[in-house]
Amino acid sequence: MSATEIFICEGKHCSKKSKDMIDALEKEFGSKKIKIKKSKCLDECECAQVAFVKEAHGIYLKGVHKYKMEQWKELFDAIKEGKNIKKLDFVKTI
């Protein structure tokens, strides 16, 4: 099984909110199963900041700049375990 890639938008509206978030997430949670990457604008500016979860999930998450580290951990654990991340109470999709 290939890694799940999470693309975090670095477009004009989102980049203000992401400063060190991507590097911190990669350091804390990046693994062979989850790759955290910067992305050019994902064209969902009204929902900034946006992340796209590729592979089996294929969904856009909005407001990810509001996630606390515990929520990121819960999200990544759910991905690793193959759970439906849309069912996490803090996840808002587009």
In this prediction, residue 71 carries a pLDDT of: 94
Domain boundaries in the chain? 4-87
Q: What is the pLDDT of residue 16?
A: 67
Non-local (6+) Cβ contacts of 46 within 8 A are: none
Rounded to two decimals, the pTM is 0.82
Fold classification of 4-87 is Glutaredoxin (3.40.30)
pLDDT by residue (tens digit) across 68-86?
A: 999 999 998 998 888 999 9
**Which range has the worst mean pLDDT, 14-23, 29-38, 42-51?**
14-23
Token reading at 78: 């759910």
